[in-house]
């Protein structure tokens, strides 16, 4: 969150109104995407330009699948995702307990095995590493509102090492990261220190564990940046676009190592072990 990423096609009402937004905006996009996959067509008229599309999203009733063609569980799932009021939309955890999802739990289909069979493992590793870097550092360098979501990256058995100390558990890690973040932010918001990711490497450890190594610079600014060969996060500027001389603005450097494990839900991951090293210029 806190960035303008994606297209207006799947943008939530609160984002169009330029209001504060959080992960509920992704739930809206999920609902539209699933509805489009089910019906074979986008539920809004996109032929009259983006301005008209935004008016439809704001003013028209939320789209819904035909009840005579789809199961009640599916219709309910889409309805829950597409509430105009962001606060009324369920969280990811709540959606995973929805009857539409639960009804297929006992089918005996090994979805994990299916995904492993159709996904390029090397490309998937790269996607997970980039996704972690973008979301982690966007939260770290972003506004106060979404910061509490950083807790969801960890579990009670997770560990974080920094400056010779080891912190274990979701709360201890979050408190430590909050203190580091506060020191980097300082007392002047326009002069806070932000991350610039310059290198990102990942490799598999066994069948499930992923090791990710990130390194880069600290500069004075107001936005997290990600550069480096083969690195370009969607919706974020490239080095050529902002024309910034990183070495001249560098106030420090960092190296961070993450050990990532799959969570209880397919496609979800958490940080099991993390090591942070900071070097001042």
- What are the backbone dihedrals phi and psi of residue 184, each rounded to the nearest 5 degrees, phi first? -70, -35
Residue ranges of the chain with pLDDT lower than 50?
A: 1-4
- Find the radius of gyration of the CA atoms of the chain: 21
Query: What are the structural domains, with CATH classification, of the chain?
Result: 8-108 (1.10.510.10), 118-280 (3.10.450.50)
Q: Which of 7, 10, 14 is nearest to 58 (CA)?
A: 14
Residue 2 pLDDT: 47
Bridge partners of residue 273, in order along the sequence: 159, 259
- Cα separation of 168 and 159, whole Å? 4
Residue 76 pLDDT: 96
pTM: 0.59
Residue 234 pLDDT: 57
Give the sign of the dihedral formed by CA 28, CA 29, CA 35, CA 38.
negative
- Cα separation of 127 and 96, whole Å? 23
């Amino acid at each position: 969150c806190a960035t303008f990423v994606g297209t207006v096609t799947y943008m939530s009402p609160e984002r169009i109104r330029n209001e504060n937004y959080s992960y509920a905006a992704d739930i809206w996009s999920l609902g539209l995407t699933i509805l489009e996959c089910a019906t074979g067509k986008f539920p809004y008229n996109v032929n009259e330009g983006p301005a008209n599309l935004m008016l439809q999203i704001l003013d028209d009733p939320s789209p819904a699948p035909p009840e005579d063609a789809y199961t009640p569980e599916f219709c309910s799932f889409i309805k829950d995702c597409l509430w105009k009021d962001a606060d009324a939309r369920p969280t990811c955890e709540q959606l995973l307990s929805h009857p539409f999802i639960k009804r297929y739990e006992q089918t005996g289909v090994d979805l994990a095995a299916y995904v492993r069979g159709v996904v390029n493992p090397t490309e998937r590793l790269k996607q997970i590493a980039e996704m972690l870097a973008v979301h982690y550092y966007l939260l770290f360098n972003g506004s106060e509102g979404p910061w509490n979501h950083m807790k969801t990256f960890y579990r009670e058995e997770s560990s974080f090492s920094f400056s010779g100390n080891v912190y274990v558990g979701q709360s201890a890690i979050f408190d430590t990261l909050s203190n580091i973040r506060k020191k980097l932010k300082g007392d002047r918001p326009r002069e806070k220190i932000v991350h610039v990711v310059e290198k990102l490497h990942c490799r598999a450890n066994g069948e499930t564990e992923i090791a990710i190594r990130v390194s880069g610079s600290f500069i004075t600014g107001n936005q997290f940046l990600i550069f480096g060969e083969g690195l370009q996060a969607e919706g974020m500027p490239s080095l050529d676009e902002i024309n910034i001389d990183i070495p001249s603005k560098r106030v420090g450097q960092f190296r961070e190592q993450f050990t990532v494990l799959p969570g209880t839900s397919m496609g979800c991951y958490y940080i099991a072990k993390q090591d942070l090293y900071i070097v001042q210029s």
